[in-house]
């Protein structure tokens, strides 16, 4: 070890029921059965965590990446579930937790700029989306669900020949896609288009 490198001591990680109770809070699940379904693990696995006081490190990292929940909260039991303290108080005196969405514009098939758009986290939860980005185009803001990579029916952010665009797409039999281009429709093979995400919300300026 280099004399300039300081030793990094281990942490006192929480485990067992302490960590699963925090996971329930973050995932908004009411019991360990629904927690297991949310995490994709069996109830028996969660029971093993309890019996042996285990710390499920991979699941903690996965929850952090998916929801933005604090790793310190999940792994160490320290602080708040979500470190982002940005809030807004509504007219009903309800405190809303705001979530920064990366906001871009489309120019010549490329994403330009990197601003942020403050969004009510609970509203994104209602939409059922977590991993999102925003695109401003022709006076309209599109919230893109980046977890969707297969087109079925709707408006999608797609990559064709290295250029990005927003297009209405309808899946057809035989792994084909009907894509709308300025009022015209083109039929292409599915593997000719890379789906970056699906439009989950449209906000239009009037």
Give residue-wise pLDDT tens across range 107-126: 889 988 868 887 777 777 78
Q: 3-class SS at 45?
A: helix
The pTM of this model reads 0.56
CA angle 150, 152, 158 (to 5 degrees): 50
Domain at 16-76, CATH from 1.20.1250.20, 3.40.50.720, 3.30.70.100, 1.10.260.40: 1.10.260.40
Fold of 91-204: Umud Fragment, subunit A (2.10.109)
Dihedral sign from CA coordinates of 116, 121, 126, 130? positive
Judge whether 16-76 and 91-204 match in fold: no
Q: What is the pLDDT of residue 5?
A: 65
Q: Of the ranges 65-74, 113-122, 189-198, which one carries the lowest mean pLDDT score? A: 113-122
């Amino acid at each position: 070890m280099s004399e300039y490198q300081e030793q990094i001591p281990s942490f006192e990680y929480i485990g067992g029921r302490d960590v699963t109770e925090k996971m329930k809070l973050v995932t908004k699940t009411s019991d360990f059965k629904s927690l297991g379904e949310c995490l994709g693990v069996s109830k028996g696995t969660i029971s093993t965590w309890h019996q042996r006081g285990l710390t499920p490190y991979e699941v903690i990292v996965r929850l952090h990446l998916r929801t933005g929940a604090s790793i310190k909260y999940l792994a160490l039991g320290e602080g708040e579930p979500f470190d982002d303290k940005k809030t807004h108080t509504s007219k009903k005196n309800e405190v809303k937790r705001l979530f920064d969405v990366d906001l871009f514009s489309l120019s010549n098939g490329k994403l330009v700029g990197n601003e942020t758009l403050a969004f009510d986290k609970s509203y994104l939860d209602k939409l059922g989306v977590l991993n999102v980005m925003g695109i401003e185009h022709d006076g309209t803001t599109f919230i893109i669900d980046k977890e969707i990579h297969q087109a079925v029916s709707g408006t999608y952010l797609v990559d064709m020949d290295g250029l990005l665009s927003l297009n209405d797409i309808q899946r057809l039999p035989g792994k084909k896609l009907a894509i709308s281009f300025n009022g015209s429709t083109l039929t292409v093979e599915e593997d000719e288009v890379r789906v970056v995400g699906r439009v989950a919300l449209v906000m239009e300026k009037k």
